[in-house]
Amino acid sequence: MVQSKVPHRRTIAAVYRYAPVIVLEENLMKTKSALLIVDVQVDFCEGGSLAVPEADTIIPVLNRYIKLFTREQFPVFASRDWHPHQAKHFQQQGGQWPHHCVQDTEGAQFHPHLKLPTGAVILSKGTAPDEDSYSAFQTVDSRGKEFNSLLKKAGVKTLFVGGLATDFCVRWSVVDALTFGYTVELLQDAIKGVNIKSRDSEQAIQEMVRLGARTTTLEKATKMFAGLKKA
């Protein structure tokens, strides 16, 4: 009698020892990851006024990340350049770039093949004439709420970042995310760069990694999320 109870008690103890931890970890993972898709807009894609080479090739990959995140009920954020017609960001006003992503024009729309989910939070940046911003942490949502406060409110701890362009807006978004203390997973297979100099993207990735970003792929992320379910 006594002997038969011992293993039983042990089993119960083991279950209590591990189960709460597993549940807690799963819950934390459920609220703490988010997907940020940076600037996948018509003007940055093939035929656009500031086309990033091979930009269109990442769109189907991003759509699969979107599926993965929506399945897990993780939040999806999509940033966009949303410039006024005249802005110091543009060459005509002394800036670096040709006109692109002007508010309410075709070029500023998200690429039509990008399948943003209904609940995606749209973040806009560069909306004022004197703004020359690159980072998603310089955006606000439709109600004027800053990206960082939205992430905090949602309890996000890990930010998965993909989109355009590796050497500009992706880079600055990742650098800021790391500065704010987020864990960053850079989507290696869903980023493309401008490469004004041929090695710009490669160097930007090296810099992000040196500052603490991790890199992931659709395959790795899928496995990571599948692991969550089993836990």
Q: What part of residues 100-129 is at the interface with ligand VGL (CB under 6 A)?
A: none
Is the N-terminal amide bond of 13 cis, ω within 30° of 0? no
CB of 22 to ligand VGL, least distance (A): 40
Which residue number, 10 or 85, has a Cβ lying nearer to ligand VGL?
A: 85
Q: Which of 36, 114, 116, 169 binds ligand VGL (CB under 6 A)?
A: 169
Determine contact, residues 125/81, Cβ cutoff 8 Å: yes
- Is 230 one of the annotated active-site residues of the chain? no
Q: How many residues bind ligand VGL (CB under 6 A)?
A: 9
> Residue 166: is it exposed, middle or buried by C-beta count within 10 angstroms (0-12/13-18/19+)?
buried
CB of 160 to ligand VGL, least distance (A): 17
CB of 157 to ligand VGL, least distance (A): 25
Asked if 87 touches ligand VGL (CB under 6 A), the answer is no
Alpha-carbon distance of 140 to 182, in angstroms, equals 18
Alpha-carbon distance of 69 to 200, in angstroms, equals 29
Q: What part of residues 180-199 is at the interface with ligand VGL (CB under 6 A)?
A: 194
Q: What part of residues 21-60 is at the interface with ligand VGL (CB under 6 A)?
A: 39, 44
Q: Which of 165, 190, 208, 221 binds ligand VGL (CB under 6 A)?
A: 165
- Is 130 one of the annotated active-site residues of the chain? no
Which residue number, 62 or 165, has a Cβ lying nearer to ligand VGL?
A: 165
Alpha-carbon distance of 14 to 18, in angstroms, equals 6
Return phi, psi of residue 173, to 5°: -65, -45
- Catalytic annotation, pick one of 45, 56, 81, 169: 169
Which residue number, 203 or 222, has a Cβ lying nearer to ligand VGL?
A: 203
Strands, E, within 31-120: which ranges? 33-38, 76-81
Strands, E, within 82-225: which ranges? 121-125, 158-164, 183-192, 214-216
- Is 45 one of the annotated active-site residues of the chain? no
Which residue number, 70 or 79, has a Cβ lying nearer to ligand VGL?
A: 79
Q: Which of 35, 58, 77, 81 binds ligand VGL (CB under 6 A)?
A: 81
CA 144 from chain center: how many Å? 19
Any idea what DSSP says for residue 28? H
Alpha-carbon distance of 110 to 89, in angstroms, equals 20
Q: How many residues does the chain have?
A: 231
The contact set with ligand VGL (CB under 6 A) reads: 39, 44, 81, 97, 164-165, 168-169, 194
Residues known to be catalytic: 39, 125, 169
